[in-house]
Amino acid sequence: MKAKNCLIFGGSGQIGRNLIRKLTSNSYKVTVVTRNIHQKSYIIKTQANAGYIDIIESNIFEEKKLRDAFKQADICINLIGILYEQKKGNTFKNVHKVFPSLLAKLSKEYALKHFIHLSALGINEADDSNYAKSKLDGENEILKNFPLATILRPSVVYSVDDNFTTNFMTLLNRLPVFPLYYQGNTKFTPIHCSDLTDTIYHVISNNIYSKIIECVGPETITLKNILIKLMSHLGKKRILFPMPLVLAKISASLFEIMPKPLLTTDQLRLLKYDNVPSGKYKTNFDIGVPSLKSFDEEVKKYCFMWKEGGQFSTEKYLLNKNLNKN
């Protein structure tokens, strides 16, 4: 079988790294486009055997370089997304709408076999969030320019190297009181990163052209319950404080001034909406990739590094009397 060439944008991120491993171990060749080869090549190159991976440094709107990359590609995968806007062009519109639209046009022009785009779950409902609106605009542009594209809408994605459970565990370690927005009642359907990349792989290897697929895990868990589970894994007791909306808005607008805000006012609006399957689209379960990984079981495997004692807090070490003498 001739190896298929996958052109990946955003391959240095959480989902990208996992996906590179999945694709290259199944004999796909990948070319990853990054903005900064000096900073990211180590983390990208170490995900695959030499011969299966290439890296190109490019600004996402450097069309000449992108065109050269498309000439070699069979499949394009877009994993670029931002959670908050920054100055000088790093806007939701540019990253979530204009750029995916360009990729879709190039996929058509260079007759690619497939274009896979990562969007987000719940964006139809969250119509007062600029993040959600831009993701939705991007989807519409893609389907207009390359109708064969497959759009995946994941719920929150977790793994040892995520920005979700690991950030919460860091904060739960440091803060005696933890704010609960909307009483912590917002529902999520967290999917493990490897279950999501299995879904992407399934879409690619089985040529699924399904327009929109919602990607979810097996459990629906409220934000409050997620925090309770994480606290129990860490062995910490923290006060969960239901923050009044006015205070939440004030704190979010203060956080927004920081270079890497913990929460923005746009994210606060987004948090109002449950992040669960809409019932209007197929899910990963429907296309034959049921996500079976349990949130608790998976987090248990890596939470120890956020726990007091680190590796020495695990059962393996606690049972070893020689190590526990002092």
* Interface residues toward ligand NAP, by CB under 6 A: 10, 12-16, 34-36, 40, 60, 79-82, 90, 95, 118, 120, 154, 156-157, 164
Structure tokens that stand for 113 in this block: 């076999």
Nearest distance in Å: CB 36, ligand NAP: 6
CB of 317 to ligand NAP, least distance (A): 31
Q: How far is the CB of 78 from ligand NAP (least distance, A)?
A: 7
Contact between 303 and 164 (Cβ < 8 Å): no
Nearer CB in complex with ligand NAP: 14/166 = 14
CB of 62 to ligand NAP, least distance (A): 11
The answer to whether residues 70 and 112 touch, using CB atoms and an 8 Å cutoff, is yes
Minimum Å gap between C-beta 264 and ligand NAP is: 14
Alpha helix (H) residue ranges in the chain: 14-24, 37-45, 63-71, 92, 99-109, 130-145, 165-174, 193-205, 223-234, 245-255, 265-270, 295-302, 315-318
Nearer to ligand NAP, 94 or 244 (CB): 94
Beta-sheet strand order (sheet of 29-34): 53-57, 29-34, 5-9, 75-78, 114-118, 150-154, 211-215, 282-283
SS3 173: helix
By C-beta, is 95 or 268 nearer to ligand NAP? 95
> Smallest distance, Å, CB 247 to ligand NAP?
26
Q: Minimal CA–CA distance to 294: which of 188, 215, 223, 217?
A: 217
Nearer to ligand NAP, 184 or 217 (CB): 217
Least separation in angstroms between CB 228 and ligand NAP:
20
Q: Which is nearer to ligand NAP, 55 or 228 (CB)?
A: 55
Closer of 62 and 296 to ligand NAP (Cβ): 62
Per-residue 3-state assignment (H helix, E strand, C coil) for 86-109: CCCCCCHHHHHHHHHHHHHHHHHH
Q: Whose Cβ is closer to ligand NAP: residue 83's or residue 240's?
A: 83
Q: Is 135 helix (H, G, I), strand (E, B) or coil?
A: helix
Which CB atom, from 16 or from 261, has the smaller least distance to ligand NAP? Answer: 16
Residue 239 CB-density burial (10 A; 0-12 exposed, 13-18 middle, 19+ buried): exposed
Q: How far is the CB of 316 from ligand NAP (least distance, A)?
A: 30
Phi then psi for residue 251, to 5 deg, are -65, -40
Cα gap 139→187, rounded to integer Å:
24
